[in-house]
Amino acid sequence: MRMFAGAIRLDGGPAPTSFRAAVRGAPYCKEQPLNWVTTDGLLAVVGPAHGACPPAIVRSGPVTVVGVARIDNRADMLAWLGDVDRSLSDLALAGEVALRRGVSGVARLLGDFAFVVWEADTRTLIAARDTFGVKQLYYATPSPGVVTFSSRAELLAQGDDYNMEYLAAWISYCGALPGLTVFRGVHALPAASVLRWNRMAPVVSRYWNPFDAQARDQVPMSDDEQCDAFRGLLVDAVRDRLSNAGTTWSHLSGGLDSSSVVSTAQWLVERGTIPRGLSGTITFVDPIDSAANERMYSDAVVDRYQLPNVQIPHQLDRHELLANPPLCDQPQSASYGIAVREGHVAETLKRMAASVLLTGLGGDNLVLGTMFFFADWIATGHIAQAVREMAHRSAVGRVSFWELVWQNAVMPLIPNGIRARLVSRPELTVPDWVSRSLVRRYELRRRTGVQPVYGARRGAAFAHAQASMVESIPLGLADGEVGEVVDIRHPYLHRPLVELALRLAPEMCVRPYAHKWILREATRGMLPELVRTRVGKSNGGGLTSWSLAHEQRVVEALLRDSILADLGLIDVHRIRSAVGSARRGGHHEESVSARVQLTLDVELWLQVRAGRWASARAMM
């Protein structure tokens, strides 16, 4: 259990005791030992500690800091402050930086953190969240002059009053806007933000965003210099996220991103740079031998570095889950399609006494790149060059020349409103079972699929797409059950590494048969050649289609008495038709199946929370 929460009276008076009762009565907290602290104006609580970076409460005179923090640049921050105790915990240091230096101070912190600082004497409240939203922080104002905060949104919710925009956005495959949660009146502090209170009103300041970072002046570097810089920053990122206790494990899919993380850690051990690296790796294996099968690549990494490797099958039969589904905090973390698999991961890590789990998340966002540079060439008058290169790439890749032109040279140049009306591909459109009135009200067509990567100023399509992909990173972060057992860390979300990637030229990312070119070059000698030179990547869409094809009774049970339909969010007849299409498989249907599964996951979350799923399951 990894939870922190609190209630603050901004006038310094006694915090409401009703908050204590609300936390104790929450399903997530029942029968759990809780550590409570009370001080002037503040009532705070943390749950039992697990992993390498547990939540905590730190007190120093009138100052209390509640939350979680892992700081990468600790030495730099201590030197910057100058006159602080060097034995301060990372959480205490982060709180000191926020209190002394405000937004500009938090902007200099590197690492993962979400914390609240309360200074009782001056009645100062500051809350902050890390650059990419790795750690969660929510807040609410249940009554005038009272602020509540928590690492879980459900602990602040007032009943089941749902935010319709959040739900509509989520089932439309575009994710909710920063700051929204599924519960009306409960706010998420956006990534890279600081929250302060001014005259009893919240003021949120963002201290970093990828578009500004991308626009900053940079020192010109050759290809070799950029590869060396990328390699150095990746090494720093992996080393800083390893546990000193030697209790770090890592995901290993066989793809370039996770394989690079694993190989970097073990390469550092081979060189004698660090005394210990990973204790083991976890690989998901495909029981039906679909396009998700990556065993030959993950095995190559395991063999090269002689690492323990626990293999966990993708869970296709979800009856174990559906018999007693977990109550996730929000729909964004309710990926029920993988919940059983994640439960097995959590059990494995607990049995192995692991405290940290590394991932390869973020690699695609940083260096996968797009071919939107063709639109930039055309916009700046280099039409003949663009046509010749597109013809060459279509021939090399054996893809349609006209499709390549349409997607990468024409679409980025079309105005947003016109583009939304022209496209029909499922990954670019709102599913047709979502309420049309809500689609219009919340302007979801502009936000769905990959639409946000478009809309750049003329001649800057590639750079805008790169920054947009980094901007979307917080939407993909959800710790789930594994995050209850270990501290999940993402080396690719090391801010200096991200900022380097934001300024890369197209040829550093996108080359024929060599997407992520800079990563391949930077890991030469570290990654097994079979992995480093691989072409393409896995596709798990077939697994989702298989599940939908074999779970007709489950789908019918969910849609028989749909809460989403009761709320006016979906048309049940249309989604039933889409389920039938998804079961037939194929490339187009795989895209549909992912959207169907997302809607069904949100439906299941609602039914579990409402206590309706037990009766629905009984009718199966």
| Domain containing residue 353: CATH number | 3.40.50.620
411 lies in some domain:
no
Task: Print the SS3 string covering 334-351.
Answer: CCHHHHHHHHHHHHHHHH
| 194 and 273, same domain (yes or no) | no
Q: How many CB atoms lie within 10 A of CB 284?
A: 25
119 lies in some domain:
yes
| 129 and 108, same domain (yes or no) | yes
Give 353's contacts (C-beta < 8 A, 6+ positions apart).
Answer: 247
| 308 and 231, same domain (yes or no) | yes
Model pTM score: 0.92
When divided into structural domains, the chain yields a total of: 3
Q: What is the pLDDT of residue 454?
A: 83
**111 close to 130: Cβ distance less than 8 angstroms:** yes
- As a whole number, mean pLDDT of residues 115-142 equals 95
CATH number for the domain harbouring residue 139: 3.60.20.10
377 lies in some domain:
no
**404 close to 371: Cβ distance less than 8 angstroms:** yes
Give 195's contacts (C-beta < 8 A, 6+ positions apart).
Answer: 125, 126, 127, 128, 139, 189, 202, 203, 204, 205
Last residue of a domain, one of 157, 175, 208: 208
Q: What is the pLDDT of residue 491?
A: 97
Last residue of a domain, one of 532, 557, 574: 532
Give 215's contacts (C-beta < 8 A, 6+ positions apart).
Answer: none
| 283 and 136, same domain (yes or no) | no
Q: Which two tokens stand for residue 167?
A: 């739900």
Question: How far, in Å, are 444, 539, 592 from residue 425 at the CA level?
Answer: 15, 18, 10
Last residue of a domain, one of 164, 188, 208: 208
- As a whole number, mean pLDDT of residues 98-116 equals 96
- Alpha-carbon span 131 to 494, nearest angstrom: 9
Of all residues in the chain, the percent with pLDDT exceeding 90 is 57
| 220 and 283, same domain (yes or no) | yes
The better pLDDT of the pair 552, 242 is held by 242
- Alpha-carbon span 111 to 598, nearest angstrom: 30
558 lies in some domain:
yes
Q: What is the pLDDT of residue 246?
A: 83
| 349 and 234, same domain (yes or no) | yes
- Alpha-carbon span 611 to 615, nearest angstrom: 8
pLDDT in tens, 67-97: 999 999 999 999 999 888 889 999 999 999 9
- As a whole number, mean pLDDT of residues 560-566 equals 91
pLDDT in tens, 214-232: 998 777 889 999 999 999 9
The better pLDDT of the pair 618, 377 is held by 377
Q: Which two tokens stand for residue 2?
A: 């990894």
| 185 and 236, same domain (yes or no) | no
Tell me which residue range forms the domain holding 560: 541-618
404 lies in some domain:
no
Q: What is the pLDDT of residue 290?
A: 52
Asked if pLDDT for residue 490 goes beyond 60, the answer is yes
Asked if pLDDT for residue 601 goes beyond 90, the answer is no
- Alpha-carbon span 341 to 582, nearest angstrom: 22
Q: Which two tokens stand for residue 241?
A: 């996220």
Q: To 10 degrees, the CA torsion angle through 503, 505, 507, 508? A: -30
Q: What backbone torsions phi and psi does residue 296 show, to the nearest 5 degrees?
A: -60, -30
Asked if pLDDT for residue 424 goes beyond 90, the answer is no
Query: Taking the alpha carbons of 605, 588, 312, 475 in that order, is the dihedral positive or negative?
Result: negative
Residue 17 pLDDT level (bands cut at 50, 70, 90): confident
Q: What is the pLDDT of residue 342?
A: 83
Put residue 82 in one of left, alpha, beta given phi > 0 → left and psi -120 to 50 → alpha. Answer: left
On the CB side of 603, how many CA atoms lie within 13 Å of its CA?
28
Asked if pLDDT for residue 283 goes beyond 70, the answer is yes
Task: Print the SS3 string covering 483-541.
Answer: HHCCEEECHHHCHHHHHHHHCCCHHHCCCCCCCCHHHHHHCCCCCCHHHHCCCCCCCCH
374 lies in some domain:
no
| 242 and 299, same domain (yes or no) | yes
| 596 and 609, same domain (yes or no) | yes
Q: Which two tokens stand for residue 228?
A: 């060396």
Asked if pLDDT for residue 457 goes beyond 70, the answer is yes
| 202 and 247, same domain (yes or no) | no
Question: How far, in Å, are 90, 332, 406 from residue 192 at the CA level?
Answer: 18, 19, 35
| 502 and 554, same domain (yes or no) | no
Residue 186 pLDDT level (bands cut at 50, 70, 90): very high
Question: How far, in Å, are 474, 486, 553, 563 from residue 570 at the CA level?
Answer: 26, 37, 20, 9
The better pLDDT of the pair 262, 32 is held by 262
226 lies in some domain:
yes
Q: What is the mean pLDDT of the chain?
A: 87
- As a whole number, mean pLDDT of residues 489-498 equals 97
Q: What is the pLDDT of residue 524?
A: 95
- As a whole number, mean pLDDT of residues 366-379 equals 93
461 lies in some domain:
no
Matching residue, tokens 């800091």: 65
- As a whole number, mean pLDDT of residues 307-330 equals 77
Q: What is the pLDDT of residue 516?
A: 94
| 189 and 50, same domain (yes or no) | yes
